Amino acid sequence: MDKPRKPRVTTDPNILLEKVLDNFTLFQSDMIRMYFKTIPPSKQRRYIKALKGKSLATAVVVHCYECMGWKAEEVEGCTSCACPLFLYRPYK
Ligand code: SF4
């Protein structure tokens, strides 16, 4: 007897984004979709995780990436000690 198949879990960032957008208004969703296209693919999943609103740490990391043009080495070299997130930035 065949075992029932497990449903496939999608890894497509665009599909994952659409699931998260249920929590936003139509206008916000459109803004997020437009912005999402500008994010490097390697950072898109983390951005989606931040949009879920369940991890402040992820939100800080994503904000720092965004601040520094999505470049980890730039975040590591951040010298903006006046920034409220400075002590919480990743890669310090
Ligand atoms: S800590 Fe640095 S990288 Fe992070 S948001 Fe502030 S200025 Fe940008």
| 78 touches ligand 1 (CB under 6 Å) | yes
The domain segmentation of the chain, as residue ranges, is 13-88
Structure confidence at residue 11 (pLDDT): 85
**C-alpha 48 – ligand 1 centre gap (Å):** 19
| 75 touches ligand 1 (CB under 6 Å) | yes
**C-alpha 17 – ligand 1 centre gap (Å):** 25
- Contact, 21 vs 29, CB < 8 A? yes
The encoded tokens of residue 69 equal 């043009």
Instruction: Report the Cα–Cα distance between both ends of the chain, in Å, rounded.
Output: 55
| 70 touches ligand 1 (CB under 6 Å) | no
Q: CA 4, CA 6: separation in Å to the nearest integer?
A: 7
Q: Residue range 61-65: average pLDDT?
A: 96
Q: What is the pLDDT of residues 13-61, one digit of tens each?
A: 999 999 999 989 999 999 999 999 999 999 999 999 999 999 999 999 9
Q: In which element (H, E) is residue 45 found?
A: helix 41-51
